[in-house]
Structure 1
Amino acid sequence: TSQPNESPIQLVARLAKEKAQAIINQNTDTHNSIIITSDQVACLSDQILGKPLTHDKAVHQLSLFSGQKVEFITSLHLTDTSNGHTFSSISHYCVYFRTLSEAEIIRYIELEQPLNCAGSFKCEGLGVALFEKMEGDDPNGLIGLPLISLCKGLRELGVNPLSV
């Protein structure tokens, strides 16, 4: 849930950090670990859209997205529990939706049930059939875990993904 006057970037950054802290607080065996958390929101013209959770809300979201550009903002947060060092990044990825008919939207939701997905679609499945094009530095950011940033963060914390 966003706080008053909190931007989408501030929201996802805060939530990713809070998730990391919750993991550390709930687990006594996190010593010498790197905790990796992320959070994501979809934005349409500065309006934050979360997970739809219901069929009707998913239909509404995809109807809003029809013919529009939607920006996905993802925060990645790494915490090295051995020394307290952290790494945070924000990734932006844009999806341009083609014009969608109501029948296409309803059929898509029936097929993939994307009710727990920011933006009401799964780009790793049939969701790509809804798109005209996509833009961004890291396509993995669209599914909620920007892997290019993750590798950079691991290197900054002293872990080379190619040396593991």
Structure 2
Amino acid sequence: METKIILASSSVYRRELLKRIVSDFAFISPEIEESQRDDESPIEMALRLSEEKAKKIAASSGNNSIIIGCDQTAVVENTILQKPMTYENAFKQLQFLSGKVVKFYSAFCVLNNNNQTVISDYSEFEAKYKLLTDDLIDKYLKKDEPYFCVGSIKSESYGITLLESIKNDDPTSIIGLPLIKISKILMDENII
């Protein structure tokens, strides 16, 4: 019986990324509580949430499956950025991020339901935001509506225009699914 791969994410962009290396997979939104715990670092938070997402989907997916959970956190000036959820919050967040460097952590968890192995890791990158005018912020938010995105930006879309530079080792980690590391794990498991 062929192993079923499931992406524990509702992100269309992450689905498009996974299609680069896996031709047939399911995707299910895990719907978990995503708030930060006391004394939890951004890396710890992203790793925990990616594992919780994978485990939630694994509980109902059967033995012959591999679940990929993922999460992304971001920090600037020792503050973990939250998903803005509204236009107003996104506007304030982008005003705050104007001209600043933000560290993003894209964590993932590959859970093999056949043998119950769990492999978690993350990739990090820095994004330097341009100096943003209120007019530019307003125009961007109305175009991309990134209200469920950490850092109020969809860098895979029009949001790239808000950035001055990005430093990282895996361009796919920007979208929250580090394919270089994930593909190695799936190759080691003889999945791809």
- TM-score of the two chains, using structure 2 as the length reference: 0.79
| TM superposition shift of 1:148 | 0.7
Following superposition of structure 1 onto structure 2, how do residues 13-92 of structure 1 map, counting pairs within 5 Å?
13-25=47-59, 27=60, 29-92=61-124
Q: Which secondary structure state, in structure 2, belongs to the residue aligned with residue 5 of structure 1?
A: coil
State which of 87, 93, 98 in structure 1 corresponds to 2:130. Answer: 98
- Mapped to 2, the partners of 1:159 and 1:130 lie a distance apart of 40
Contact 1:88 1:153 in 2 (8 A): no
Structure 1 residue runs without a partner (length 5+):
none
Across the aligned residues of Structure 1 and Structure 2, the Cα RMSD in angstroms comes to 1.1
Q: Which secondary structure state, in structure 1, belongs to the residue aligned with residue 159 of structure 2?
A: helix
- CA offsets 1:88-147 (integer angstroms, 9 cap, x no match): 111101111111101100110011111111111111111111111110011111111111
- Mapped to 2, the partners of 1:75 and 1:19 lie a distance apart of 11
Matched residue, 2:18: none
- Mapped to 1, the partners of 2:76 and 2:124 lie a distance apart of 13
Q: Does 1:131 align with 2:163?
A: yes
Matched residue, 2:22: none
| TM superposition shift of 1:44 | 0.8
Counterpart residue identity of residue 118, structure 2 = T
Q: Name the % identity.
A: 35
Q: Which secondary structure state, in structure 2, belongs to the residue aligned with residue 122 of structure 1?
A: coil
Q: Which secondary structure state, in structure 2, belongs to the residue aligned with residue 119 of structure 1?
A: helix
Contact 1:151 1:160 in 2 (8 A): no
Q: Which secondary structure state, in structure 1, belongs to the residue aligned with residue 88 of structure 2?
A: helix
Q: Which secondary structure state, in structure 1, belongs to the residue aligned with residue 150 of structure 2?
A: coil
| TM superposition shift of 1:155 | 2.5
- CA offsets 1:38-83 (integer angstroms, 9 cap, x no match): 0111111221112110001100111111101011111110011000
Any runs of at least 4 consecutive aligned residues in structure 1 with deviations exceeding 6 A, and if so which?
none
- Mapped to 1, the partners of 2:62 and 2:190 lie a distance apart of 17
Matched residue, 1:113: 145
- Mapped to 1, the partners of 2:52 and 2:191 lie a distance apart of 25
